[in-house]
Chain A
């Protein structure tokens, strides 16, 4: 089990899918992007990124190919597969339901009658 600190289980997968849905990226770029988009709130240690990526690849949600970067370095680029796209929609709506529910609970001011 990877233990992405401070992250709900499964949320890292969702974030990765979302990031990769925008464009194919290699591991380093993904970690940069994660840091940037979550404004350092969601701290993902650099290491724990890779096991998660390998798992997503193994599950068939993302695929990998070796390509040259802008600096002419060979790097492993990940992109979403059709199955991954479906998974993203599913996971995202689930997340919305969950966070909505939690918001609702937290916004309670009294016991509803």
Chain B
């Protein structure tokens, strides 16, 4: 295209009016010249112009052809169509608003979830060649999953299918800078972790092999921690660092590209002691990078062979153990997979329902515009041109919807993230970026086609087929199509209602499930001492803090425990009972083995069911313990548990350390998602080594008063230690429920949105139907039909549609819900009550949606109706 033609095109585009008037002028000149010629041949002036025009042909068509030759018609027609549609929509703002709002909800929810799906499931590990990473899942003899072990890690490292294998765990450390303490997260690794995770340094170097073997206290900071805690100090290298009470040396800073493992502030080789662990212990996470030409299957085959050999070499510890390999990305994405897929599917369903609604509304508009379409056809509009005109409307709606939707998505993204499990990978990286926008726009295009094509096609076909014959009255054909659409909508909506109902019911059950402790009037805080704190120091610290807490004004009781209720278990081990053969299911079962001071039970409000509390631990005193009601029932169904002796099964052949059962406590839940209470043993605080202290205080004082007291009286005892903020157990309990609550709210909102959209769809269909049949109703009333009969017809129609929707929806819901079980609490996916409730809600909605059209039908005035049209 040369300059001249470009100029012409731009001129036709931007100086449209001028070009247009020139065209008119040019053609008029021709007509006048022709008329003048005819006049000169003796034809009357009045006839001359008419004849000139007749000879000339269809002026409008001709102009259109000229515009066509200027190759602007498509663009211009599009602009024109869009303008026309915008004007049309502006005339019925209600319909437009409903369409845009429902599309915005659908597109917004879907785009927001897509942005999370994109990072968390598609790219959960943000480092190069993440697809070559394998995750290790070890299984013990009893089939239970177990962590890795430094000795076996060494064995796995010999497999040729791996380029590098690393073992690691994360731990909290306390960073002390200028007297202030900050808790930071450490990655402790063994083996070539930097090769596995493709981490290189930006400053300095990685810890050397020798340093790792000597257990030197050297760290390499992650890039984010370097910037966050050290203001990107370029002279950080070789500076001493106070970490958990020891002096460390910074040897390097990782490059920003070293982004996995996430949420870690520094890397340090594992301490030497860890390598002394027996082959029984299992506490390492293990990952490997595959050798360039090796596949995961090859690695698995090699691992199977090696596991069989290890079982022979170490029969006591390794017999029956196995290693299962899988992609690391899959493992990382696992915790969030079901939630994300569920919500993505649900938001797609809402979008689909919205599209169906818009399609239904456009279909109705299309019927009302049949006369217009027929006129357009009569004036020479082609079928494509007509389809384009009708499509412009849905395009406009979809794009307005996608803009509003993307706005919604960026506003709601943070709230959405709360509904996902905390360990969802890369949650912070999920933003409404260009990928999400692209996705949203694609959705808008797809929905425009989905909503617009059928109505446009029908309008075009009808217009050219039937023309103006029917006098503009809407026909019946498309009401079958609309009925089908409404049924599909209801089926989708029921699926969402059931899914949402299951999640909401799960949340309600979880909130009502007995906690086993009394959160009112109780507050707690946590103090994590470094893992190498000597036992004596832990004991005196505990003692001092407990004494001061007990002396605080308002305190009724205070105690310490290894982990707060609902915050998970700590240690677990198989048990022995003196003089009793355990039932087979208890022989290898890991029983939660917890430590608490006697004051913990009254402080947390855990009732003593039987016997007495144990006395505080004394090295040479009698060993006492408490067991929970659940364990008492399981172990001693036929005898009094008090006075029985229980022990954790010793490793090797050491004699068991018996604890005499002093009492039985009520059950508590270890995790919010545990449905059955776990059997537990409580031993007195100090019986085992455990440096993480969780204090619980029950009293009349407000948590804020307690907090001030702790600041004044307890913090000075523990310089350089981090005391977590004090929170009431009520708040802590609510927090543990929060993910499920947010999830329930989100699912409920999506379900209700779909219900609302569905009601709207049904209402629009029935209202339109009633309006269309006004004349028929008028005749029927005139012939003696009673108003209730007419109303019943509309309601029957609504119910018939919802019955079909229910049948389809139930089938779909049962298929979909099966994947949800892991998200549910004490609720089966086939929960009849939930399904029944959902059906009831949908039918009520259908009745309500049919009520107004039914009333309108019943009130048909025969005179007015027959005058209609």
Seen from chain A, the residues whose Cβ lies within 8 Å of a Cβ on chain B are 2, 26-28, 31, 45-48, 50-52, 54-55, 57-60, 63, 66, 73-76, 81, 83
Given contacts A47-B57, A54-B66, contact A28 B29 (CB under 8 A): yes
B4 within 8 A of A: yes
- B60-85 vs A: 1/0 string, CB under 8 Å? 00100110111100000000000000
B232 within 8 A of A: no
A-contacting residues, B1-52, CB 8 Å: 2, 4-5, 8-9, 22, 25-27, 29-30, 32-34
C-alpha gap A45/B59 in the complex (Å): 13
- Can you pick out 18 interface pairs between chain A and chain B where the beta carbons lie within 8 Å of each other? A2-B65, A28-B30, A45-B57, A46-B34, A46-B55, A47-B56, A47-B57, A48-B65, A50-B65, A50-B66, A54-B70, A55-B69, A60-B4, A63-B4, A73-B32, A74-B25, A76-B25, A76-B26
Whether the pair A58, B56 counts as a contact (CB closer than 8 A) is: no
- Contacting residues, chain B, for A76 (C-beta < 8 A): 22, 25-26, 29
Q: Give min CB distance, B70 to chain A, whole Å.
A: 5
Known pairs A47-B56, A51-B62; list 9 more (Cβ under 8 Å): A46-B34, A50-B26, A50-B65, A51-B68, A58-B5, A58-B70, A60-B4, A60-B5, A63-B4
- Contacting residues, chain A, for B66 (C-beta < 8 A): 50-51, 54
- Contacting residues, chain B, for A47 (C-beta < 8 A): 56-58, 62
Whether the pair A31, B71 counts as a contact (CB closer than 8 A) is: no
Whether the pair A46, B4 counts as a contact (CB closer than 8 A) is: no
Seen from chain B, the residues whose Cβ lies within 8 Å of a Cβ on chain A are 2, 4-5, 8-9, 22, 25-27, 29-30, 32-34, 55-58, 62, 65-66, 68-71
C-alpha gap A73/B9 in the complex (Å): 27
- Contacting residues, chain B, for A73 (C-beta < 8 A): 29, 32
Task: Name the residue on A nearest B27 (C-beta).
Answer: A50
- Contacting residues, chain A, for B68 (C-beta < 8 A): 51
Whether the pair B71, A58 counts as a contact (CB closer than 8 A) is: yes
- Contacting residues, chain B, for A52 (C-beta < 8 A): 69
Q: Give min CB distance, A24 to chain B, whole Å.
A: 14
Whether the pair B9, A58 counts as a contact (CB closer than 8 A) is: yes
- Specify which of A2, A46, A66 is in contact with B56 (CB 8 Å cutoff): A46
Whether the pair B29, A27 counts as a contact (CB closer than 8 A) is: yes
Task: Name the residue on B nearest A56 (C-beta).
Answer: B69
- Contacting residues, chain B, for A55 (C-beta < 8 A): 69
Instruction: Give chain B's interface secondary structure class.
Output: helix
Whether the pair B8, A57 counts as a contact (CB closer than 8 A) is: yes
Task: Name the residue on B nearest A63 (C-beta).
Answer: B4
Whether the pair A31, B5 counts as a contact (CB closer than 8 A) is: no
- Contacting residues, chain A, for B65 (C-beta < 8 A): 2, 48, 50-51
- Contacting residues, chain A, for B2 (C-beta < 8 A): 60, 83
Whether the pair B5, A27 counts as a contact (CB closer than 8 A) is: no
C-alpha gap A52/B69 in the complex (Å): 7
- Contacting residues, chain A, for B58 (C-beta < 8 A): 47
Q: Give min CB distance, A31 to chain B, whole Å.
A: 7
- Contacting residues, chain A, for B70 (C-beta < 8 A): 54, 58
C-alpha gap A26/B55 in the complex (Å): 18
Task: Name the residue on B nearest A54 (C-beta).
Answer: B69
Q: Give min CB distance, B528 to chain A, whole Å.
A: 78
Q: Give min CB distance, A108 to chain B, whole Å.
A: 39
- Contacting residues, chain A, for B55 (C-beta < 8 A): 46
C-alpha gap A76/B66 in the complex (Å): 15
C-alpha gap A2/B67 in the complex (Å): 12
Task: Name the residue on A nearest B8 (C-beta).
Answer: A58
C-alpha gap A83/B55 in the complex (Å): 33
Q: Give min CB distance, A77 to chain B, whole Å.
A: 10
Q: Give min CB distance, A40 to chain B, whole Å.
A: 14
Q: Give min CB distance, B121 to chain A, whole Å.
A: 51
C-alpha gap A51/B2 in the complex (Å): 21
Whether the pair A58, B33 counts as a contact (CB closer than 8 A) is: no
C-alpha gap A28/B33 in the complex (Å): 7
- Specify which of A46, A54, A59, A75 is in contact with B57 (CB 8 Å cutoff): A46
- Contacting residues, chain B, for A50 (C-beta < 8 A): 26-27, 30, 62, 65-66
- Contacting residues, chain A, for B56 (C-beta < 8 A): 46-47
C-alpha gap A6/B68 in the complex (Å): 22
List the 10 closest A-B pairs by CB distance, nearest first.
A47-B57, A55-B69, A54-B69, A28-B33, A51-B65, A60-B5, A54-B66, A76-B26, A47-B62, A51-B69
Whether the pair A27, B26 counts as a contact (CB closer than 8 A) is: yes
Whether the pair B4, A31 counts as a contact (CB closer than 8 A) is: no
Q: Give min CB distance, B16 to chain A, whole Å.
A: 14
- Contacting residues, chain B, for A58 (C-beta < 8 A): 5, 8-9, 69-71
- Contacting residues, chain B, for A59 (C-beta < 8 A): 5
C-alpha gap A18/B264 in the complex (Å): 81
- Contacting residues, chain B, for A75 (C-beta < 8 A): 26, 29
- Contacting residues, chain A, for B9 (C-beta < 8 A): 58
C-alpha gap A11/B26 in the complex (Å): 23
- Contacting residues, chain A, for B27 (C-beta < 8 A): 27, 50
C-alpha gap A39/B773 in the complex (Å): 64
